[in-house]
Amino acid sequence: MCRTRASTVTIPEDVDELLKKADAALDALASRAPAAALKAARRLEILAQSIGYHAAGGAYRTMETEELGTALGITADEAENLLFRYRRR
């Protein structure tokens, strides 16, 4: 479940709702068809890496790590590690 603190960036409502629906659908799929759920999980990993790569590039160019950390509700060091992880391909 996606939760944000008041001081963190807000996920747009339509995206948050989509993530909640995907979570519920994939949880149910894992019970019914574990192999299909694993295949879907792998697709989500690939999608997350691609989105993260592009988002991290934009954040790296436009934000200080302290600012990013505050927006994400994490420390500047954690934000820097996140940028490093997602900017690798």
Q: What is the pLDDT along the chain (89 residues), one digit of tens a residue?
A: 444 444 699 999 999 999 999 999 999 999 999 999 999 999 999 999 999 999 999 999 999 999 999 999 999 999 999 999 999 87
pLDDT at 6: 46
The pTM assigned to this predicted structure is 0.79
pLDDT at 24: 97
Number of other residues whose CB lies within 10 A of the CB of residue 72:
16
Indicate the domain borders of the chain: 13-87
Number of other residues whose CB lies within 10 A of the CB of residue 60:
15
pLDDT at 5: 46
